Amino acid sequence: MKPKLIIGIFAIIGFTSLLMYNLGESISTYTTFDKAPDMKVAHVAGVWDQSKEHGFSMETKIFSFYMKDESGNSRRVVYSKPKPNNFEQADRLVVIGEMRGDTFYANDMLMKCPSKYNDGDPAQFINASEG
Amino acid sequence: MIGLIGKILLTLSFLSGVVSMCLYFQGAKNDDTAKLKIGNWLFGAKGAFLVAASGLLVYLLFTHQFQYYYVFNYTSLDLHPKYLWSAFYGGQEGSFMIWIFFSWLIGFGLMKWTREPYKAPVLFFLTLTQVFLLSMVLGWDIGNIKIGSSPFRTLVEEMPDAPFIQANPDFVPQDGSGLNDLLKSPWMMIHPPIVFVGFALMTVPYCFAMAALWKQKYNEWIGPALPWTLTGNVILLTAIFLGGYWAYVTLSFGGYWAWDPVENASLVPWLIGTAGIHTMIIQRKSSVAQKSSIFFAILAYVVVIYETFLTKSGILADSSVHSFTDLGLYNQLLLFVIVTTGIGAALFLWRYKELPTQEKESQILTREFMTFTGAMLLFILGLVIILGTSSPIIGLLFNDNPTPPETSFYNQWSMPIAMLMAVFTVLGQYLFWKKYNWETLSSALINPLLVTSVFTLASAIFGQVREPYYILYMFTAYFAVVGNGWVIAQLCIKKPKLIGGSVTHVGFGILLIGILASSVYNEPMLDGRIAQYNENVKQGNVKDEMGFTVTEPVLFLELKLKEPKIVNDKYIVTYVGFDIEDQNRPGQQTYKLLFEPLDGGDPFYMYPEVYPMLATSTQENVQWSVDPDVRSGLLSDIYLYVAGSSYIKQRNDMIARRANVNPVGVQDEVPEIQTIQFEKGETITVGGFEMNFIDYAMEDTAALPPSTTIGVRAQVQVHHIASGQRFLLEPLFALYNDEEGKTFVFSPPVDLPGFDISFSFSKVRPETGEIDLSITGLDEEYKSEWILVVAEQKPFISVVWLGTFLLMIGFTVSIFRHWGRERKK
């Protein structure tokens, strides 16, 4: 009985630590453009900077736009896939990729969309009531 | 008024729930059947109030009473009636209601079929969970404490401080903001209710296990609990399948599974429930594993509630593609998790000493050991997935602002666990029906192993499965199919009613084969030029304009109207045109693509769609959403969607121009100089001319200034259609350096004789062989019609579905078997 129990306990400890180690490796932290160059895969959260140009280039097949991160820095982000469906709607973006020079190369993008009304702009209702 | 009645009805439902719960408690404690009976009546009343409230909500939805927030937020006037039903559970409040409704129906089944002494305690625990769920839709405001979020709240209650409400408290919007377009799908009509039937059914094993602990009857509960659990499992599996299928045919991520928290929320309870089914089966057969049956039965439901907490409390807001609304139910949901887990754990630990323990250790080669191992593997897999899904909480161990884990975390862990499972399904099934020792087992497995090896070898040779790890994976998956198939063959002769388990395990093996084949051997559909470009990217030979090495391949197929392209050396693909439809989704474009197989198969069309998301689009900002088309084949699917088109670009440009308020008339003017891109051999017709870029012609650099580095001419044939005149022009493109080494482009215009039109050769694209001609003086603006398509060839998706169906069939066979035996008692 005894040795089996010990083996079992060791197996559980070994398994759990490996699992936790691996989980820790695959979880990263949200960061800013300033700190992104130190990371291999950086998750940067921010908002779309609408004051600068954006769009999909037919020539390079790249979607690019400017994003303002949480510390207020605006950087160009390029994304080699089509513009995501709810891009304009998102009130928060998370871009996942790496910084090269001054440009962020995103492999993946997540959009956090507002629940349509809670955070919404009441202007649309005013218009509706007037018109 | 109606809203107030609705709120009162939900309150009455909640109150009768609380009272019936108390009665059930006393009924269970004192074995008081009179209390139990009154409890049943109140249980019925609770549901009747709920049904009445739901009826009111449906009425509000169908009569478009937009002063109610729920109606306003999830519907609009133009919404098709069938999707008004979807809107009912489009929000969390409605989904809680439908969940309670199904749980209530199940309650009647439990009343009818559950025997003493379990009846009262089972109903007590069921009602307890319903009371919690009902509290989520109460919408009570007691001082500063808010309990639940009512579906009947009005706009005024939702945002009392909004200026337009303060100006006019009776304000009713003329139209609602509409249902999310992605949810306007028949699949999304049936998927959510089925999920909630599954969740409601998963409550039943929890109730039985808790009743067993309470009444200290640790064996008999398995009989009735097993068919319920199996049913919950099949339903949950169906829901997972429908969700996956919906994601595949509606969303543009191109797959059926993304390890999203919402997907995991139904997968993990399914895994734990399946673990419970395994231990229940051996407990029924051999009176062992009482502890683990109770443990898994409790855990399966705790996991349902925990995942509900994760997805509905807003805690996962950043980690999922789903948008979650935070209704402020965080504390209430947390309390629900703590109570279900707390009383589960407390009762389990309190009775732990008393629970039967196995006298002597199981030998390895017994069905008990094998089945138990299967359950443990399912449990471990569930644990791994929960751990990953809980990253917003568990990730805090690693850093302050954790991201979700990469999907590779899930893949790396689930693969080896699944491989072990596959092997154990065969050993377990063999030992389940017959006793073996090592020697007899090995000889019994020789034939299945031989067949498995042949299949694996065939996949390696014909199917290009070359990676050692994948070969091993395929070997275990084939082994599960062949080994369990062998068992089915033997059972079919003797006892065909018992094949449920082995059919399920064959399904599992097939599912594993399908998952690998469909995810690893995905092939983008591209034309030769892009494929060549991607090959260069792969070798690291491509630099972008900033000088960085390009690492991402291009996965687009660009098609010009009626210009066929050869794709993957397999199909000639032609973009034939598009129609605009205003029926279901106003402004929707249906694109038509012709596929002609090069091997002479029958040609076929595909119809991807693009539509403006009405719920979120405004005049100034149209949001386009795509609806992919999938052509399912026996061996391989073609999946494609339109990522962009000239029509959409024009529409967007028009909107942008309108926003900039240009002077009237300017937008219709033909630009003086137009730059048109030509492929070699391409003919473009514009302004009454047919222009054909025939080929390059090398220019003798000796004839040019000495600092010229490149000099090339384009042979362009221009045909004036009206007069039939033809001209051959050879405009020059040259690069030369000045004294400082700067490079300049030299592209002198060439006049078209007899017309006020000139051509200059303004750009070469060496990577594609295309050129730009800048043409001055055309009296028509050139608009090429094109689409940008993302297309993939996905092999063996059908195998994934086949595996899933077999799992469902196997579980269903088992339900009938266990239910039949239970009825005979």
Checking if the pLDDT of B592 tops 90, the result is yes
End position of a domain, from candidates B184, B219, B247: B184
Q: Does A26 touch chain B (CB under 8 A)?
A: yes
Q: Which of B158, B399, B406 sits opposite A26 (nearest CB)?
A: B406
How far is the C-alpha of B327 from the C-alpha of B330, rounded, in Å? Answer: 8
End position of a domain, from candidates B153, B184, B215: B184
The percent of residues in chain B predicted with pLDDT above 90, rounded, is 44
Q: Which of A101, A112, A118 sits opposite B546 (nearest CB)?
A: A101
Test B555 with A81 for CB contact under 8 angstroms: yes
Q: Which of B173, B399, B409 sits opposite A29 (nearest CB)?
A: B399
Q: Which of B395, B623, B643 sits opposite A86 (nearest CB)?
A: B623
Give residues with Cβ within 8 angstroms of B10, minimum separation 6.
B49, B50, B53, B134, B137, B138, B139, B150, B152
Could you tell me if residue B193 is inside a domain?
no
Structural domain harbouring B142: 1-184
Could you tell me if residue B388 is inside a domain?
yes
Dmax over CA atoms of chain A, in Å, equals 82
Condensed to tens digits (0 to 9), the pLDDT of residues B425-439 reads 999 999 988 888 899
Is the pTM here over 0.90, yes or no? no
Of B74-78, B459-463, B679-683, B729-733, least confident by mean pLDDT is B679-683
Chain B residues touching A99 at Cβ < 8 A? none
pLDDT beneath 50, residues of chain A: 115-131
Q: What is the DSSP string of B158-212?
A: H-TT-HHHHH-TT---SS-----GGG-SHHHHHHHHHHHHHHHHHHHHHHHHHHH
DSSP, res B687: T
Give residues with Cβ within 8 angstroms of B481, minimum separation 6.
B506, B509, B510, B513
Of A43-52, B441-450, B506-515, least confident by mean pLDDT is A43-52
Condensed to tens digits (0 to 9), the pLDDT of residues B222-254 reads 999 999 999 999 999 999 999 999 888 887 777
End position of a domain, from candidates B660, B687, B712: B660
The percent of residues in chain B predicted with pLDDT above 70, rounded, is 95
Higher pLDDT: B400 or B413? It is B413
Checking if the pLDDT of B2 tops 80, the result is yes
Q: Which residue segments constitute the domains of chain A, with CATH numbers given?
A: 29-112 (2.40.50.140)
Chain B residues touching A45 at Cβ < 8 A? 318
Name the range with the highest mean pLDDT among A29-33, B444-448, B542-546, B663-667.
Answer: B444-448
Q: Count Cα atoms within 13 angstroms, Cβ side, for B463.
A: 24
Cβ-based burial of B170 (10 A; exposed 0-12, middle 13-18, buried ≥19): exposed
Could you tell me if residue B416 is inside a domain?
yes
Peptide linkage before B193 cis (omega within 30 of 0): no
Which alpha helices (DSSP H) does B251-289 contain, by range? 261-286
At B169, the pLDDT band (50, 70, 90 cuts) reads: confident
* B504, B548: one domain: no
How far is the C-alpha of B121 from the C-alpha of B347, rounded, in Å? Answer: 13
Higher pLDDT: B691 or B671? It is B691
- B residues 577-616 lying closer than 8 A (beta carbon) to A: 613, 615-616
pLDDT at B701: 66
Test B643 with A82 for CB contact under 8 angstroms: yes
At B662, the pLDDT band (50, 70, 90 cuts) reads: very low
At B498, the pLDDT band (50, 70, 90 cuts) reads: confident
* B216, B328: one domain: yes
* B681, B737: one domain: yes
User: Within 10 Å of residue B504's Cβ, how many Cβ atoms?
Assistant: 24
Instruction: Look at chain B and report how many structural domains it folds into.
Output: 5
* B475, B602: one domain: no
Which alpha helices (DSSP H) does B572-691 contain, by range? 646-660
Could you tell me if residue B801 is inside a domain?
no
Q: Which of A12, A26, A83 would best serve as a mutation to test chain B binding (most B beta carbons within 10 A)?
A: A26
The distance of B218 to chain A (nearest Cα, Å) reads: 26
How far is the C-alpha of B361 from the C-alpha of B200, rounded, in Å? Answer: 36
pLDDT at A130: 31
* B269, B343: one domain: yes
Test A27 with B402 for CB contact under 8 angstroms: yes
Q: Do B348 and B211 meet the contact criterion of CB atoms below 8 Å apart?
A: no
Q: Does A24 touch chain B (CB under 8 A)?
A: yes
Checking if the pLDDT of B181 tops 50, the result is yes
Q: What is the DSSP string of B500-555?
A: HHHHHHHHHHHHHHHHHHHHHS-EE--BHHHHHHHHHHHTT--B-TTSPBP-SPP-
Give residues with Cβ within 8 angstroms of B770, minimum separation 6.
B677, B678, B679, B680
Comparing alpha-carbon positions, the chain A residue that sits nearest to B251 is A85
The distance of B812 to chain A (nearest Cα, Å) reads: 35
Of B143-152, B251-260, B452-461, least confident by mean pLDDT is B251-260
CATH number where B705 lies: 2.60.98
- A residues 28-67 lying closer than 8 A (beta carbon) to B: 28-30, 41, 43, 45, 56, 58, 60-61
Could you tell me if residue B808 is inside a domain?
no
User: What is the CA B342 to chain-centroid distance, rounded?
Assistant: 32
pLDDT at B317: 62
Test B69 with A128 for CB contact under 8 angstroms: no
pLDDT at B267: 94
Q: Do B682 and B692 meet the contact criterion of CB atoms below 8 Å apart?
A: yes
Q: Which of B252, B321, B403 sits opposite A30 (nearest CB)?
A: B403
At B614, the pLDDT band (50, 70, 90 cuts) reads: low
Is the backbone of residue B328 left (phi > 0), alpha (psi -120 to 50) or beta? left
At B111, the pLDDT band (50, 70, 90 cuts) reads: very high
Chain B residues touching A124 at Cβ < 8 A? 618
Give residues with Cβ within 8 angstroms of B433, minimum separation 6.
B487, B490, B491
* B13, B105: one domain: yes
How large is the C-alpha radius of gyration of chain B? 33
Could you tell me if residue B191 is inside a domain?
no
- Helix, strand, coil percent content, chain A, rounded in steps of 5: 25, 35, 35
* B558, B502: one domain: no
Test B403 with A82 for CB contact under 8 angstroms: no
Could you tell me if residue B124 is inside a domain?
yes
Could you tell me if residue B799 is inside a domain?
no
pLDDT at B318: 57
Test B175 with A128 for CB contact under 8 angstroms: yes
Chain B residues touching A28 at Cβ < 8 A? 399, 402-403
* Mean pLDDT calculated for residue range B163-182: 78
The distance of A101 to chain B (nearest Cα, Å) reads: 9
Test B402 with A29 for CB contact under 8 angstroms: yes
Q: Which of B376, B384, B398 would best serve as a mutation to test chain A binding (most A beta carbons within 10 A)?
A: B398
Comparing alpha-carbon positions, the chain A residue that sits nearest to B401 is A29
Checking if the pLDDT of B189 tops 50, the result is yes
At B456, the pLDDT band (50, 70, 90 cuts) reads: very high
The distance of A126 to chain B (nearest Cα, Å) reads: 6
Query: What is the token pair recorded at B200?
Result: 């409601």
Q: Does A88 touch chain B (CB under 8 A)?
A: yes
* B393, B438: one domain: no
* B295, B233: one domain: yes
Q: Which of A23, A81, A124 sits opposite B388 (nearest CB)?
A: A23
Comparing alpha-carbon positions, the chain A residue that sits nearest to B381 is A19
N-terminal to C-terminal alpha carbon distance within chain B? 52
Condensed to tens digits (0 to 9), the pLDDT of residues B301-346 reads 999 999 888 888 777 765 554 545 566 788 889 999 999 999 999 9
Condensed to tens digits (0 to 9), the pLDDT of residues B353-381 reads 888 887 666 788 888 899 999 999 999 99
- B residues 353-412 lying closer than 8 A (beta carbon) to A: 380, 384, 387-388, 391, 394-395, 397-406, 408-409, 412
Checking if the pLDDT of B81 tops 90, the result is no
Chain A residues touching B69 at Cβ < 8 A? 117
Chain B residues touching A56 at Cβ < 8 A? 644
* B335, B447: one domain: no
- B residues 73-102 lying closer than 8 A (beta carbon) to A: 73
CA angle centred on B787, ends B664 and B550, rounded to 5°: 105
How far is the C-alpha of B94 from the C-alpha of B88, rounded, in Å? Answer: 5
Q: Which of B325, B395, B399 sits opposite A115 (nearest CB)?
A: B325
* Mean pLDDT calculated for residue range B527-544: 85
Test A23 with B162 for CB contact under 8 angstroms: no
**Amino acid symbol at B727:** F
Please, what is the angle between helix B407-433 and helix B500-520, to 10°?
Answer: 150
N-terminal to C-terminal alpha carbon distance within chain A? 82
User: Within 10 Å of residue B244's Cβ, how many Cβ atoms?
Assistant: 21
* B338, B485: one domain: no
Query: What is the token pair recorded at B61?
Result: 């939805």
Comparing alpha-carbon positions, the chain B residue that sits nearest to A19 is B384
Nearest to B791 by CA among B570, B463, B539: B570
Test A117 with B555 for CB contact under 8 angstroms: no
Chain A residues touching B384 at Cβ < 8 A? 19
Chain B residues touching A15 at Cβ < 8 A? 380
Condensed to tens digits (0 to 9), the pLDDT of residues B18-67 reads 999 999 999 999 888 899 999 999 999 999 999 999 999 999 999 998 88
* B398, B410: one domain: no
pLDDT at B32: 86
- B residues 284-323 lying closer than 8 A (beta carbon) to A: 317-318, 321, 323
The distance of B101 to chain A (nearest Cα, Å) reads: 26
